[in-house]
Every structure is written in structure tokens, then in C-alpha cells.
């Protein structure tokens, strides 16, 4: 029975990698051993799980169904390990974190200030950048990401969603023609973030999608906010980056009757990192932290 459980985990790894060679490399065993064990598993089950060609491996229908159960078994093991890790009250060691610049310089900074007071033996190395970093290749433990990860080797825990708003300074609004429809955005200066090259707005069931011209582009939302405050144009910002500025009258909403798509936030980490007590504490801390929960349910008046 124990060997079959191991073979189920090996099958899930082969399915994730898409090849015996990559799976063998990650498992640290010969390719021939991986292939033999999967064949033995198929013989024991009495059904083919993989279609093998010289170029690639494809799951059979039965293989797809079996993979679901294998993944459930692995997730149960991970939950059991995490439950044990949570019993450790004094985590230590280094935790490498990567975050988009806007989040990292605001909400994450505030939360980490509380985290290091609670867990002083954990050292933090934080990369605040809007560049997409490969967690596994670069050796990071955890990331904040907008959108659910597609990589099956990563676990994504939803933190919620945050509204986004079109904003400009009162001075800019006063100096330019009034905006009453999204189509009129073409006549205005707009500051775009490279991750949001198009703005999707909706009013009830009516949608408007606009691809921004490359007139003013940035990879940093704080830069976009400051440009908008200075009167450089209209920009799109998540609520947590503009609450105070709107309250102080530095920014006002543009086309307030039209809603922009919200910004979904995930806490992402490699499944192999679940044996880290520091990461387990960080996950628990963030999932229960008011800094994020307050802002990711907030709306502007």
C-alpha cells in the first residue's frame, strides 16, 4: 500500500512535468525507474494512464480522473504537514518575499512591520517590483500576485479582490473637456500600467474595452498615481492606493458611473516550501491580517 501511494505521487509528478525525464530529475531518480514504476502502477490498476509518444506524454481519460485523486492525496498530505508546522511557535530563518511595487510599498510594508514584531527570529528579504519573478527559479518562498497562478507547482490562496477606479486631479479635469462616455477617453492623456494595457469598463450589462495608446506607460502604480496628482492625465488605480488621495481632494473619480474590473489578489507559494515553519506562520498571519482584509473589501464613496 505504501509503495502504491508513492507511485501515485510519482504519477502526479510525471503528469505535472509532462515527461519522464523532467519528473526523474525532480524526483532524483533514474528515468528508467520512473517509467518502470508508472508501468507497474498501470498494471496494478489494469488500465493505461498515459499515452506515450516519442515527443510527449498525454493523459488518457482514465489518467485524468486518477490524477484528480492523486492530487487530493498530495494536498491532504500537505495540509497534515502544515497543521504540524503551525504547532511550532518560534519559527526562525530567512523568508524571501516578492510583491508588486504598489502593494509592497504600502500594505505589505505595514503588515510586515507587525509580522517581525510577532516573529523576531524570522528574517525577511523582500523584493518590491512589478517584474514577474519565477518563484522556483529565483528561490523565493512566497509572492503576492494579481490573478490565480496557472503553474501546477504553485499554490494560490485568495486574499480577496480590490476595486479599481479611473482617477485624475481636479486641475486636469478643469483644464480638459468633460468626460461623459468611455469613448471620450481617446481625447485625453492617460497613464497606463504595463500589466493593464487595456481598460475594461462596464455600466450594468454594457461593456467598453479600450486598448491604451503608448503615450505614457509605466511599470509602477505609485508613479502613475503621483503623475495623476500632478495633473499629467487619467490613470487606473486600485482602491488601497487612492483612498487618502481622494479623501484629501488630490484625485477625483472619472466616469464614476462606469465600473472597472476589480483586482484579484492571491498569496502564492511553491508546494515544496510547505515544510517551512516561517512560511506557515507568514501564510496564517497574512490570511488573518486586517491590513489586507480592510482594503480588499473597501470601496470609494
- In this structure, the answer to whether residues 244 and 255 fall within a common structural domain is yes
Among 32, 60, 85, the domain-final residue is 85
- pLDDT at res. 104: 85
Counted domains in the chain:
3
Task: Say if residue 116 is in the same domain as residue 139.
Answer: yes
Q: Are residues 105 and 67 in the same domain?
A: no
In a shared domain, residues 152 and 277? yes
Averaged in consecutive runs of 10 residues, what is the pLDDT profile of the chain (301 residues)?
A: 81 86 86 88 89 81 89 85 65 87 86 90 88 82 82 81 90 90 89 84 88 84 93 91 91 92 84 76 80 57 47
Q: Is 121 exposed, middle or buried (0-12, 13-18, 19+ CB in 10 A)?
A: exposed
Among 118, 23, 11, smallest CA distance to 73 is for 11
Count the neighbouring beta carbons within 10 Å of the beta carbon of residue 142.
24
Tell me the whole-structure pTM to 2 decimals: 0.61
Count helices and strands in the chain by DSSP H and E runs: 12, 15
Could you please report the per-residue DSSP string of 90-144?
A: ---EEEEEEE-HHHIIIIIHHHHHHHHHH-TTEEEEEEE-SS---HHHHT-SEEE
Q: What is the DSSP string of 4-28?
A: HHHHHHHHHHHHHHTSHHHHHHHHT
The per-residue pLDDT for 301 is: 47
Residue 139 lies in domain? 93-160+264-294
Q: Is residue 301 part of a domain?
A: no
pLDDT value at position 86?
Answer: 62
- Same domain, yes or no: 148 and 284: yes
Which three-class secondary structure state does DSSP give residue 154? Answer: strand
Tell me the CATH number at 116: 3.40.190.10
pLDDT in tens, 62-109: 888 998 988 888 888 888 777 666 655 677 788 999 988 888 888 899
Amino acid at each position: 500500500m505504501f509503495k502504491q501511494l508513492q507511485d501515485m505521487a510519482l504519477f502526479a509528478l510525471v503528469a505535472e512535468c509532462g515527461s519522464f525525464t523532467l519528473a526523474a530529475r525532480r524526483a532524483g531518480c533514474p528515468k528508467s525507474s520512473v517509467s518502470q514504476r508508472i508501468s507497474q502502477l498501470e498494471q496494478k490498476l489494469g488500465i493505461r494512464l498515459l499515452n506515450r509518444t516519442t515527443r510527449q506524454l498525454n493523459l488518457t481519460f482514465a489518467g485524468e480522473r486518477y490524477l484528480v485523486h492523486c492530487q487530493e492525496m498530495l494536498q491532504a498530505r500537505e495540509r497534515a504537514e502544515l497543521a504540524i508546522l503551525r504547532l511550532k511557535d518560534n519559527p526562525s530563518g530567512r523568508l524571501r518575499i516578492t510583491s508588486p511595487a504598489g502593494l509592497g510599498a504600502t500594505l505589505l510594508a505595514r503588515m510586515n512591520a507587525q509580522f517581525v514584531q510577532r516573529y523576531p527570529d524570522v528574517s525577511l528579504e523582500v523584493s518590491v517590483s512589478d517584474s514577474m519573478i519565477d518563484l522556483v527559479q529565483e528561490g523565493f518562498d512566497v509572492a503576492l500576485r494579481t490573478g490565480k497562478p496557472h503553474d501546477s507547482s504553485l499554490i494560490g490562496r485568495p486574499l480577496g479582490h480590490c476595486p479599481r477606479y479611473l482617477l485624475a486631479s481636479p486641475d486636469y479635469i478643469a483644464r480638459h473637456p468633460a468626460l461623459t462616455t468611455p469613448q471620450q477617453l481617446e481625447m485625453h492623456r492617460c497613464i497606463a500600467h504595463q500589466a493593464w494595457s487595456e481598460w475594461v469598463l462596464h455600466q450594468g450589462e454594457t461593456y467598453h474595452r479600450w486598448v491604451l495608446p503608448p503615450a505614457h506607460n509605466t511599470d509602477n502604480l505609485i508613479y502613475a498615481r503621483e503623475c495623476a496628482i500632478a495633473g499629467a492625465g487619467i490613470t487606473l488605480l486600485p482602491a488601497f492606493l487612492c483612498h487618502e488621495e481622494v479623501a484629501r481632494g488630490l484625485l477625483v473619480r472619472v466616469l464614476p458611473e462606469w465600473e472597472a474590473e476589480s483586482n484579484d489578489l492571491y498569496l502564492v507559494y511553491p508546494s515544496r516550501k510547505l515544510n517551512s515553519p516561517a512560511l506557515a506562520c507568514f501564510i496564517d498571519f497574512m490570511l488573518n491580517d486586517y491590513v489586507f482584509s480592510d482594503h480588499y473589501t473597501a470601496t470609494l464613496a
